[in-house]
Structure 1
């Protein structure tokens, strides 16, 4: 699997879940349906219906305080988008542009990647931001 497509699909799935519960949900819906229309015109109407149903599911999950539903829906759409991009990689640039337009604050946030290897008795501490360690070390 192409790591770039996987990362783009992950971002798209997360952005989709976030935007479907906001006032700008129609924009992400229309852009995704447009992608399917270009790649699989026969599936575009069903995708539109599924996105509408997903929105209703997410709104219901928010109302009942079900955070697992958001993660599940995000993973489901991430997989669908990844499969679409794997079959039609020419759509990746259009999806990137749509995400940048619809969620500019997430596009402006740099990605943080951390990698560590510990061996023997070593310890590794990593944080994407603040880290506070208290207590007796090695006591």
Structure 2
């Protein structure tokens, strides 16, 4: 198999694993399941099982050990993508599209905050809307 395709499939495995600990896991899982359902119906139930199992295993790992666990799961999913692409080379385009989608989701669901207050200053941080004062929204 072409090394460029292997690199793409590896990147897709990495993006999938990253999404396993993100807010959009349900949508990511659904998209991966759909690829298998459309290409290999017999394997689809097992893939759905492994998606859920790997997700559960990864989120159960202590944060300090998560990177190592994620790397192992990434390799497993890379191998699964490679095997699927060997059976049906036309799936590479669909996996490439999946990878772009996962990368977009993974980047947009990440928030990082850092703030310092001196004296009597107040700090308010939010990844979403903040409302101050009395009354209901829209007043």
Number of paired residues?
Answer: 106
2:19 corresponding residue in structure 1: 19
Gap change, CA 1:105 and 1:31, over 3 Å in 2: closer
Maintained 8 Å contact 1:20/1:55: yes
1:105 shift after superposition: 7.7
Maintained 8 Å contact 2:39/2:88: yes
In the alignment, the residues of structure 1 paired with residue 63 and residue 102 of structure 2 have an alpha-carbon distance, to the nearest angstrom, of 27
Give runs of aligned pairs for residues 59-70 of structure 1, distance below 5 A: 59-61=59-61, 63=62, 65-66=64-65, 67-70=67-70
The one of the two structures with greater contact order (alpha-carbon pairs below 8 A, sep at least 6) is 2
TM-score (norm 2): 0.69
In the alignment, the residues of structure 2 paired with residue 89 and residue 106 of structure 1 have an alpha-carbon distance, to the nearest angstrom, of 26
Maintained 8 Å contact 1:14/1:74: yes
Gapped regions of structure 1 (runs ≥ 5): 108-139
Structural RMSD (CA): 1.9
2:114 corresponding residue in structure 1: none
Please list the CA deviations of residues 84-117 of structure 1 after superposition, one character each: whole Å capped at 9, or x if unmatched: 112111111111112222322889xxxxxxxxxx
In the alignment, the residues of structure 2 paired with residue 102 and residue 70 of structure 1 have an alpha-carbon distance, to the nearest angstrom, of 16
1:82 corresponding residue in structure 2: 82
Instruction: Return structure 1 stretches of 4+ with deviation > 3 angstroms.
Output: none
Gapped regions of structure 2 (runs ≥ 5): 108-139
2:52 corresponding residue in structure 1: 52
TM-score (norm 1): 0.69
